[in-house]
């Protein structure tokens, strides 16, 4: 599966595979290799039944759900199905109710805190009221919260039926009020000597400037359009690497004050070279639950400038970056200037923190959680199967 969750799951499986037997179930349309069971189909009510059959066939001890949205969402949900899910539960509910073994779930996608979500929806409604302009704004806001974000908000209730929950940041733990925080794992794709000038040559980037990277899918909540209004400090250059999301109509934006890279998908090696070529991240998001890009940046030693949203505050409080008002390009510029003034301090903080994101440590935390959830010690003589 291409994308942030796919990369996350693949890296976690790779590390878990050194300590336990791993059986992988995947979406039928994104089957990466022959030893993966394609039993998941987006929006198919039989998905839970298929996974339950696989659990029995492989005699699993733990089920770990990674990409939960593929199991309860559909690109073309009819209204009645959304309403039905709101009251009777999602496609995923059967798995949690009927699984013969504990189920662990990683929350990769989670609604922002209520106040931040409401502000984001208000801005979105104001931007594109369209043919529904005559309806009261508060009605449109409530409708969008229920129909667009409602399934995501109701999903964690299903996860509470059994097993544990893995939170990649404190923001989702504060909402669900139970579970375990295990930071999003992230590591460079290689550990050989880093030659920043060589990497910059590969991407045709200037060698004598400080480079701040804007990276990610081109979707409205990412706020990349804000960057075109930023006035960068004299010694900084903005590098943009946007990819059009397969489910989003917005095209990548080219900025007059930036170097725009190709929108082709980057493999792990290319991704690492790009991060190592840059000096900082800029994350101008309007709305966010978590950001895998932030963890990738920290793993490569990059401090950040980001919007003042709950998720980013946790890491800014550790001295890893600086926050600016949401949607305010002037304050984003000021934050970058502050980062530039004390860059060495922020960089040192990131270098110290990045060790927590190594996949070996993340895998060990997962194994400890599996052991606790299963109520038994997963010793090396115990045959174990983990479905991710």
Segment 188-202 mean pLDDT: 87
220: pLDDT confidence band, cut at 50, 70 and 90? confident
State the pLDDT at residue 346: 98
Segment 249-275 mean pLDDT: 81
Chain length of the chain? 388
For the chain, which domains are there?
Answer: 4-111+149-185+358-387 (3.40.50.2000), 196-356 (3.40.50.2000)
Segment 169-174 mean pLDDT: 83
- Predicted confidence (pLDDT) per residue in 227-241, tens digit: 988 989 989 999 999
Neighbour tally for 379: CB within 10 Å: 8
State the pLDDT at residue 380: 39
- Predicted confidence (pLDDT) per residue in 61-96, tens digit: 999 988 755 455 555 555 555 556 666 667 777 888
d(CA 85, CA 154): 9
Selection from 250, 263, 73, 47 nearest residue 152 by Cα: 73
384: pLDDT confidence band, cut at 50, 70 and 90? very low
d(CA 296, CA 67): 19
Extract the tokens encoding 329: 């390009």
Answer whether residue 388 shows pLDDT above 90.
Answer: no
Question: Are 154 and 86 spatial neighbours (Cβ–Cβ below 8 Å)?
Answer: yes
Segment 259-266 mean pLDDT: 81
d(CA 295, CA 278): 15
């Amino acid at each position: 599966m291409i994308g942030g969750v796919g990369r996350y799951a693949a890296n976690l499986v790779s590390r878990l595979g050194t300590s336990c037997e791993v059986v992988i179930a995947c979406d039928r349309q994104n089957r990466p290799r022959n030893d993966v069971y394609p039993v998941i189909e987006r929006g198919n009510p039989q998905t839970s039944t298929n996974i339950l059959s696989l659990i029995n066939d492989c005699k699993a001890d733990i089920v770990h759900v990674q990409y939960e949205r593929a199991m309860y969402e559909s690109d073309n949900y009819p209204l009645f199905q959304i309403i039905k899910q709101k009251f009777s539960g999602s496609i995923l509910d059967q798995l949690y109710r009927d699984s013969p073994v504990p189920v662990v779930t990683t929350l990769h996608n989670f609604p922002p805190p209520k106040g931040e979500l409401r502000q984001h929806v208000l801005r979105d409604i104001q931007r594109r009221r369209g043919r529904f302009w005559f309806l009261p704004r508060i009605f449109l806001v409530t409708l969008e919260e229920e129909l667009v974000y409602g399934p995501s908000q109701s999903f964690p209730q299903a996860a509470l039926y059994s097993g544990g929950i893995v939170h990649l940041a404190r923001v989702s733990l504060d909402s669900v009020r139970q579970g375990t925080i295990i930071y999003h794992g992230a590591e460079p794709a290689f550990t050989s000597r880093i030659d920043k000038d060589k990497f910059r040559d590969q991407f045709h980037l200037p060698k004598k400037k400080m480079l701040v990277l804007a990276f990610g899918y081109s979707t409205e909540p990412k706020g990349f359009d804000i960057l075109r209004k930023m006035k960068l400090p004299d010694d900084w250059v903005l590098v943009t690497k946007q990819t059009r999301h397969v489910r989003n109509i917005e095209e990548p934006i080219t900025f007059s004050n930036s170097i725009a890279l190709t929108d082709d998908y980057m493999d792990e090696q290319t991704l690492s070279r790009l991060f190592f070529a840059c000096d900082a991240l800029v994350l101008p998001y309007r709305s966010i639950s978590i950001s895998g890009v932030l963890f990738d940046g920290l793993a490569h030693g990059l401090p950040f400038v980001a919007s003042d949203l709950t998720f980013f505050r946790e890491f800014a409080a550790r001295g890893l970056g600086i926050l600016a008002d949401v949607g305010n390009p002037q304050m984003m510029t000021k934050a970058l200037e502050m980062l530039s003034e004390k860059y060495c301090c922020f960089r040192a903080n990131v270098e110290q923190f990045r060790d927590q994101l190594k996949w070996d440590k993340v895998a060990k935390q997962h194994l400890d959680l599996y052991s606790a959830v299963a109520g038994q010690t997963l010793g090396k003589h115990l045959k174990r199967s983990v479905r991710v």
